[in-house]
Amino acid sequence: MEKNPSLCFFDVQQAIQYRKDLHIVAEPIGTLAHSPMQESTLGPPFLLTPEQAEFISGRKDHLQPHSAVFRALTEAGYYVVPGALYGCDFMIYVGDPLVTHALALVFMERELSPERLVEITRAAALCKKTCLLAYFRASQLVLKQVTRIHTDRQAKPLPRVLE
């Protein structure tokens, strides 16, 4: 495995290895040669997020906050993908995202107002996901599951979440 991966690569076998061994889901951004007008199936090159590239490189010191959260959740056994689709920082999956649904939405907050707390819990509740709040206290990463009080069903605790 290479030590300093670029953010973009073409090797399909490497993408499969990252996915299987490291739980890294590289985003295919290219079109396949036999179907250049395709809209649903993309192929090489594959794009890594900066957090994924740092994780693959093995760097553990002086990580940016997003990279530290990504590393902690990936090392806990989750697949962690960007969460722009749901307006969060990350989405986490227990299994491969191709065959499972996201378990939780991860929101990283430096300061949390009551209004923002309502926003993120509503966003998670509307898409039927658990809300996970990530923040740093005294340089230590803290991950907390947040549930809404006004709900008719009790939220299930996340398996293997760091506290």
The CATH number given to whatever domain includes residue 73 is 3.40.1350.10
What pLDDT, on a 0 to 100 scale, did the predictor assign at position 69? 94
What pLDDT, on a 0 to 100 scale, did the predictor assign at position 2? 45
Lowest pLDDT segment from 56-60, 68-72, 80-84, 151-155: 151-155
Q: Coil, helix or strand for 138? A: coil
Tell me if the bond preceding 157 is cis, omega within 30° of 0.
Answer: no
Q: Are residues 156 and 81 in the same domain?
A: yes
What pLDDT, on a 0 to 100 scale, did the predictor assign at position 147? 75
Residue that finishes a domain, picked among 11, 39, 59 = 59
Contact 120, 111 (CB under 8 A): no
Q: Are residues 53 and 69 in the same domain?
A: no
- pLDDT bucket at 3, cuts 50 / 70 / 90: very low
Q: Are residues 39 and 77 in the same domain?
A: no
Number of domains in the chain: 2
Q: Which domain holds residue 20?
A: 1-59
Q: Are residues 52 and 66 in the same domain?
A: no
**Segment 115-142 mean pLDDT:** 89
Residue that finishes a domain, picked among 59, 83, 109 = 59
Q: Are residues 23 and 102 in the same domain?
A: no
Q: Are residues 122 and 137 in the same domain?
A: yes
Q: Are residues 40 and 92 in the same domain?
A: no
What pLDDT, on a 0 to 100 scale, did the predictor assign at position 139? 85
- Residues 163 and 98: their CA atoms lie apart, in Å, by 28
Q: Are residues 6 and 47 in the same domain?
A: yes
